[in-house]
Amino acid sequence: MGELIIAFVTTNTEKEASFLAQKLVDEKLAACVNIIQNVRSVYEWEGEIHDEQEHLLIIKSLKSRTEKIKAFIEKHHSYEVPEFVSFESDDALADYLQWAKDVTS
């Protein structure tokens, strides 16, 4: 399996998305975080269907950082149950992977 992970986290404000992204990179937990604004999320919460605008963070990091990223999200995210879903990349450009290692070490 790959050393690189891609993780998804949603937030309800641009301010929170920016805060989380900048702190993840600053604390060397992520090499890069993309913020996609105005993602429409439809989900059930406490027996009600919600249809909300959110902001999606796409976090690129190393597999070895996964548990620390999860702990960071649980500590700093405003949601009672924040989304954190990650996938391992089976293929990445060697130079990109090296850059990710360099900036997160």
Q: What CATH number was assigned to the domain covering residues 4-103?
A: 3.30.70.120
With 0.85 as the threshold, say if the pTM is over it. yes
What is the reported pLDDT for 90?
87
**Selection from 18, 32, 84 nearest residue 61 by Cα:** 32
In the chain, domain spans: 4-103
SS (H, E, C) the chain: CCCEEEEEEEECCHHHHHHHHHHHHHCCCCCEEEEEEEEEEEEEECCEEEEEEEEEEEEEEEHHHHHHHHHHHHHHCCCCCCCCEEEECCCCCHHHHHHHHHHCC
pLDDT tens digits for range 30-62: 999 999 999 999 999 999 999 999 999 999 999
